[in-house]
A and B are shown apart, each in its own frame.
Chain A
Amino acid sequence: MKLPIRLSKSSREPIYHQIENQIKTLIASGQLITGDPLPSIRVLAKELEISSITIRKAYQNLEYNGFIQTSQGKGTFVAEVDPDMKAHMASQEVEEAILKAISTAKQHELSNEEILTMFKSLLQKEEKR
């Protein structure tokens, strides 16, 4: 399966870290479920046009943290992930997205008041849809 991973060239976050986090997000959001196969290191390296050394590093970290499992000769699969961990991942991801929005707003010199007002009005708009 082709993973919807998008690497950002403009981010200062190391590439292996980006891969690690995006796979965690895919697992936390349920797009990848326990037992789903992950692409081999070589195939993912080709698709993302990065070295297999970087992918191996990301996979090793994911395995160490219990998100994936590799079985010799069979490949790499999504492991059984603790629901608490999933919830934690999800809230972390949302937090990051909001922080990013805040930093964009600050770049445009918006006040906290203005950011809050905008946030509330967008929430209302979204609920009406």
Chain B
Amino acid sequence: MTAPLRIKNMEKSIDDFHLNIKDLTFETGTITAVVGMNGAGKSTFFKMIMNLVKQDTGTIEVFGQSVTDQSDSWKGLVAYQSQTLTGCEPFTGEQVRNLMAKIYPDWDEALFRSFSQKLQIPLNKQIQKLSPGVKTKLNLALNFGKNTPLLILDEPTAAMDIPSKNYFIQFLLDLMERGDKTILIASHQADDIKKLADYLLFIDKGQVSNLLEKDSLASTYRLFWLKEEPPITLIPGEIKRTYKRVILSNQPEATVAYLSKSSLTIVDEEIPDLEEIIQEVLTKGEIIYA
């Protein structure tokens, strides 16, 4: 089966910003969280997939079709929720819905209605009069309605209230259960990443990581609480030290070997919280980049 999304040898420079991806393939039925600091290039990356920003070199294929080809039939296979609903402001949600339902052959009215109703989106109000949070909800409802096999979501929960966020997560899970969907989601919300993601993709100043399976990534980190204070010099695997005796390691086996050789006692140990790992990767992640 053709992968929903495949990117090869892609490069893009905008002024002093460079984005490059050697080889990335997103498989059917997976959710990938795209993680990076503000301005890291997440939205640019998404726009390139949608051919809204042209790459300098390389190929981007949606279900085997290059997005820069003359034919744009691939557009019916991917829904993209951008951070704004550009060009729609003078219209109502209902009017935009009518347009989308005509363009997208697999438009799913039930999906659109259930999401809109549950989140109480006012579909008869002019979009420019909606609050940012409600605009995002409408944007999502419209993209869910498109019922495409590939979904790209750019910070969907950024302005959302808690009940809506929870409903959104549940909605995405139900969507995944119904069929062969593939989702890319850029988010700064730890909850989205923990509850939804299978893979993490880090973007840092235009540098893009490999696809990292969430639990494998987590298991490469370990926090150790020691009984005695270790020497002040860096010990094997150590990437951070707090309270003099708490060591964060990204090579747990090397750390354990060193500690036992040096007769330093481990009082307790655990896999750190995903948020802490993301923090480490984004502030000094060197191992991640291919």
Contact assessment for A51 and B268 in the assembled complex, using a CB-CB cutoff below 8 Å = no
Cβ contacts A13-52/B at 8 Å (1 or 0 each): 0110000000000000000000000001011011001111
- B269: interface (CB < 8 Å): yes
Within 185-210 of B, Cβ neighbours of A (below 8 Å) are at 194-199
Asked if B195 contacts A46 (CB within 8 A), the reply is yes
Q: A46-B196, A51-B199 are in contact. Are A15 and B215 (CB under 8 A)?
A: yes
For A51, give its contact among B176, B213, B269, B270 (CB under 8 Å): B213
From 140 to 176 in chain B, residues with beta carbon under 8 angstroms from any chain A beta carbon are 169, 173, 176
Question: For the side of the interface on B, what is the size category?
Answer: 20 to 34
Total chain A interface residues with beta-carbon distance under 8 A: 15
Q: B169 to A46, Cβ gap below 8 A?
A: yes
Bound-complex Cα distance A45 to B176 (A): 12
B250-290 contacts to A (CB < 8 Å): 268-271, 274
| Residue A124, interface by CB 8 Å | no
Which residues of the other chain, B, contact A45 by a CB distance below 8 angstroms? 195, 198
- Whether the pair A42, B177 counts as a contact (CB closer than 8 A) is yes
* CB-based contact A10/B270 at 8 Å: yes
Query: Nearest CB to that of A9 among chain B residues?
Result: B270
Is residue B214 contacting chain A, with contact meaning CB distance below 8 A?
yes
CB of A50 within 8 A of CB of B215, answer: yes
Bound complex: CA A9 to CA B276 (Å)? 14
Q: B219 contacts the other chain (Cβ, under 8 Å)? A: yes
- Pick the contact of A10: B169, B199, B268 (CB < 8 A): B268
The reply to whether the CB of A105 lies closer than 8 angstroms to some CB of chain B is no
**Interchain CB contact (< 8 A) of A46 among B30, B173, B274:** B173
A53 close to B (CB within 8 Å): yes
Q: Is the CB of B215 within 8 A of A53?
A: yes
Give, as a whole number of angstroms, the nearest-CB distance from A59 to chain B: 14
Binding site for A on B (CB under 8 A): 30-31, 169, 173, 176-177, 194-199, 213-215, 219, 268-271, 274
Binding site for B on A (CB under 8 A): 9-10, 14-15, 40, 42-43, 45-46, 49-54
